[in-house]
Amino acid sequence: MADVNHAANKKAGLAQLQKNRRKSFWKEQTKGYLFFLPAAVILLMFVFYPIIWTFLVSFREVRPMEMRNTGLFEMPGQFVGLNQYIEIFHNPLFIKAMVNTLYFGTIYIPLTLVSAALLAVLLNQKLKGVNFFRTVIFIPYIISVVSASLIFLFLFNGDRGLINAVLLKFDLTGPNWLAHSLLAMPVIAIMSAWKKVGYFMLIYLAGLQNISHSLYESAKIDGANAFQRFWYITWPLLGRITLVVSVLLMIDTLNVFQEVYVMTGGGPGDSTTTVPFLIFNEAFVYFRMGPASAMSYVLFVVVIIITVLQKRAVDKRLG
């Protein structure tokens, strides 16, 4: 009898213990989620909902006035399936915007990447004034795109800019840079490179400083010469960073908007109209929500593809 009682007590005790444990488990969960709650609310409302909203609206034709009467959680307009995706790929301006973006990238990406890597290798040495050089090269990064755009707008001004004044010293007549359909985009690319080089240089520097000296020391002992040390130690690491940096540069390229808005307004002609600039115009100048959303999703998908490809490449190199 006593034994049975004891067993029952033990069972009840165990159940109680488990219940307590479960209770404290859920208490832990609740507390954890409470800490995450403010961030979650903001992200759900202003990041996740917008991503879904854009996706749904990209399949709908919305007349400008229809936005007005739509509730916060309603979708405006009529469902039209893939029509708008088909339409934007028949839109010559969209194709032009992609070509322009490519033009920007072919100047901006190599220029920034090579300068950043080169400067990082140079500034990774023990030199007098190394911190001064690093600081000077990094300063443009903290200046806003708008401010930088205004400075370069004036630097490359056709009839009072510094660039043309310097060219004049060499008896050259400079063009009106930003009014020239082939030269406007390179100017924007050069400005972006000027602004961003310092940032990517720091990323390279961080990578270089992560290589421990003992690696070089033991390579030396094993009889590796300077070239071998570079080829087998520095280069693989730089290569990995280069992959990451090149993806970040590609994403930068796909996001060029403010500099175009301030410096050229997409012109001359359509020569500096980029995809984000076109999206902005479609949405806020012509109030065509559907095509703007469809273009946004095409852009989004391209960014995702680039990111995934990069991750694969990095894994492959490391694996």
Partner 1 sequence: MINKLRQYGLVLFLWFVSLIFLVPLYWLFVSSVKSDAEITRFPPTFWPENFHWSNFVEVWSRLNFTQTFMNSIIVSTSTTILIVIFSTMAAYALSKKRIIGRNMILLVLVGTMTVPPTALLLPLYFIITKMGMYDTLISLILPFGVTVFGIFFMKQYMDDVPDELIEAARMDGCGDVRIFLQIIVPLVKPALVTLVLIEFVNNWNSFTMPLVLLQSESKYTLPLRLGLLASENVALPWSQILAANLLTIIPVVVLFLLLQKQFIKGIMEGAVKG
Of residues 135 through 194, those in contact with partner 1 by CB under 8 A are 135-140, 142-155, 157, 159-162, 164-165, 168, 194
Question: Whole-number minimum distance, CB 281 to partner 1, in Å?
Answer: 11
Q: Token pair for residue 243?
A: 């992959």
* Closest CB to partner 1 among residues 8, 305: 305
Residue 52 exposed, middle or buried by CB count within 10 Å (0-12, 13-18, 19+): exposed
Enumerate residues 224-253 that contact partner 1 by CB under 8 A: 251
The smaller minimum CB distance to partner 1, of residues 7 and 108, is found at 108
Nearest distance from C-beta of residue 88 to partner 1, angstroms: 14
Q: Which is nearer to partner 1, 54 or 106 (CB)?
A: 54
User: Rounded to the nearest 10 degrees, how much is the dihedral formed by the CA atoms of 118, 119, 125, 131?
Assistant: -170
Residues 138 and 198 sit within 8 Å (Cβ to Cβ): yes
C-beta of 217: minimal distance to partner 1 in Å? 20
Name beta bridge partners: 60: 79
Using the minimum distance from each CB to partner 1, give the nearer residue, 4 or 39.
39
Interface of this chain with partner 1, residues 76 to 135, rule: CB under 8 A: 119, 122-123, 125, 127-129, 132-135
Angle value at C-alpha 148, between 159 and 171, nearest 5 degrees: 30
Of 59 and 194, the one with the shorter C-beta distance to partner 1 is: 194
Contact positions with partner 1 (CB under 8 A) in 252-291: 254-255, 257-258, 261-263, 265, 275-276, 279-280, 283-284, 289
Q: Shortest approach of partner 1 to residue 276 CB, angstroms?
A: 4
C-beta separation of 289 from 65 below 8 A = no
Question: Taking CB under 8 A as the criterion, which residues in 192-211 touch partner 1?
Answer: 194, 198-199, 202-203, 205-207, 209-210
Residues 18-77 contacting partner 1, CB under 8 A: 28-29, 31-36, 38-40, 42-43, 45-51, 53-54, 57, 67, 70-72
Contacts of 12 (CB under 8 A, 6+ apart): none
Q: How many residues in the shown chain lie near partner 1 by CB under 8 A?
A: 100
